[in-house]
Amino acid sequence: MAIAAPRRSFFPLSTNENLDQPLNLLSSLPVHLVFLSLVTTCSSGPEAVPTETYPVITPLVQDTALLKNYVAEIHSVQFVEVRSHIGGYMEKIHVDEGQLVHEGQPLFNVSSAERALELQRANAAWKVVQAELTAAEVELRNTGSLVDQHISSQAELDLTRARVDALRARLEEAASTRDQAALNLSYAHIKAPYRGKINRIPFKTGSIVQEADVLTTITDNSEMFAYFHLSELDYMQLRSSFRDTTLRRVTLLLPNGVPYQHQGRIEVAESEFDRATGNIAIRARFPNAEGVLKHGANANIELRRPLEDAVMVPQRSTFEVQDKLYVMVVRPDSTVEQRNITTAFRLPDLYVVQSGLKPNESIVFEGVQRLRHEDRIMPVPTSTHEALKKIGSH
C-alpha cells in the first residue's frame, strides 16, 4: 500500500520577485500581535532605577528636658491691710506713700487726744475706788478689835466686811475700765506691724475714720511668692521631680517674656484639688532684693522636666492623617512604610516619640508629603547634626 506524501503550502511568488530577498512576514501579521511583541520586548528589559532622592535620618536619642509654662500670680511674703480699730478723725499722718517703715514705727494718730482723756478719767476713778477700799479695810480692822473687846456687835463687823468686798469688786471694775481706755489709746496710735513699704493712703489729716476702715497697706517685698496651678495629670507627672531638691528650681518669665534674674524654689502644694477646675495650687518662693517683683503682678512659671534617653524626630519628618501622626520609615529595600507614631511631648521643632518607632530605624527627613506607602526612593543618609542644624534646634 502506497503512503501519500504530506502536502506543503507555499506563498505564491510573483514572477518579478527575487527569491534571494528576505520575506517580510511582519507586514502580513495582525496589528495586535505586533503590539504584543513590542510590549513583551520592553518588559523583558532591566528594571527602572529610582532617580528621586530623599534625605534619610535616624531618630535622635539623648537626654533632654521638657519646658512648660504656667500662669502665676505674684504675692508678697507679707501683705497686711492696716485698719482702724476705733472711729474718730485722722489727727496726724507720720509717713508718706512708698516709704520704707520698720516694725513699731508710728504711722497714724486717730483721735488720740480724746482717748488720752478717757484714760485719765479711768485712772482717776480707779484711784478713788482704791482710796475707798483702803479706808474700808482700816475700818474693818478696827471693828474687828472692838468685837474682840465686846464693844461692837458681830453684825456691824459683817457689814464692814461686806462693804470691803464690794469695794474690791469696784476696784477690779475700775481697773478693767482703765485697761480698756489704755487699749483704746493704743488703738489711736497706729504703728507698723513689721518692716515693709507703705502703699496708698486714702485718708488725709482731718478725715473722719470709721471703725475697720483701711488706712493703708504694708508689703514686705524682700521675697515673693508665685502661685500657679497644675492639672492632675501634670501634677502626677511632676510629683517625682518635686522630691528632688535640685529639680524644684523654677524660672519666672516676666510679662515682657524676659526670664527673671533669680531662680525660685517650689515650696509647698495644697492638700486637695479644686473640684471646679481639677487643678492644684503650687507655691514657689523667689528672692526680690532689687524690688523688681510687685505684689499683685502676673507672670509665667517655667517648669523643667528632665527626659532621659528620649527618642525624638523632627516635626518636618511627620505628617497628620485624621488626627494621627505618621512618619515614612525606610525599609532595607529602599521602599517606604507609612507608620503611625505616638508622641509623649512636643518640643521646639521636635517630637518625643512614645511608641511606634525604634531608635535604629531610618525615616525620611524631608519631603514626606510627596511620598506614598510602598514608594521606592533613593535614600541619602543625613547626619543628626546636619538635620538639627537645618531645623534650628540645638
Report the pLDDT value the prediction gives residue 33, as an integer from 0 to 100.
38
User: Where residue 243 sits, what CATH number does that domain have?
Assistant: 2.40.30.170
Q: Which carries the bigger pLDDT value, residue 234 or residue 261?
A: 261
Least confident among 23-32, 46-55, 197-206, 226-235: 23-32
- Per-residue pLDDT of 297-343, as tens digits, reads 999 999 888 888 899 999 999 999 998 999 999 999 999 999 999 99
Same structural domain, 119 and 204: yes
In the predicted structure, residue 356 carries a pLDDT above the cut 70 = yes
And the C-alpha cell for 44?
A: 523583558
And the C-alpha cell for 192?
A: 507698723
Same structural domain, 247 and 314: no
In the predicted structure, residue 41 carries a pLDDT above the cut 70 = no
β-strands 249-253, 298-314: how paired?
antiparallel
- Per-residue pLDDT of 49-86, as tens digits, reads 556 899 999 999 988 888 889 999 999 999 999 999 98
Same structural domain, 98 and 198: yes
In the predicted structure, residue 236 carries a pLDDT above the cut 90 = no
Question: What is the share, in percent, of the chain residues with pLDDT greater than 90?
Answer: 60
Report the pLDDT value the prediction gives residue 387, as an integer from 0 to 100.
84
Q: Which carries the bigger pLDDT value, residue 29 or residue 258?
A: 258
Same structural domain, 181 and 294: no
Task: Round the average pLDDT of the chain to a whole number and report it.
Answer: 84
Distance CA 173, CA 276 (A): 53
Helix (H) or strand (E) holding 187: helix 154-188
Asked if the structure places residue 172 within a domain, the reply is yes
Same structural domain, 104 and 196: yes
- Per-residue pLDDT of 84-119, as tens digits, reads 998 889 999 999 999 999 999 999 999 888 888 999
Report the pLDDT value the prediction gives residue 199, as an integer from 0 to 100.
95
**DSSP character string of 337-368:** EEEEEEEEEEETTEEEEEES--TT-EEE-S-G
- Per-residue pLDDT of 108-147, as tens digits, reads 999 888 888 999 999 999 999 999 999 989 888 888 888 8
Asked if the structure places residue 181 within a domain, the reply is yes
Same structural domain, 352 and 295: no
Asked if the structure places residue 185 within a domain, the reply is yes
Same structural domain, 91 and 192: yes
In the predicted structure, residue 222 carries a pLDDT above the cut 50 = yes
Query: Identity (one letter) of the amino acid at 81?
Result: E
Asked if the structure places residue 179 within a domain, the reply is yes
Q: Which of 288, 306, 324 is the C-terminal boundary of a domain?
A: 306
Count: domains in the chain? 3
Q: Which carries the bigger pLDDT value, residue 319 or residue 36?
A: 319
pLDDT tier for residue 17 given thresholds of 50, 70 and 90: very low
- Domain that includes residue 363, residue range: 54-64+308-391
Strands of the sheet with 88-93, listed across from one edge: 189-191, 106-110, 88-93, 208-209
Helix (H) or strand (E) holding 36: helix 31-43
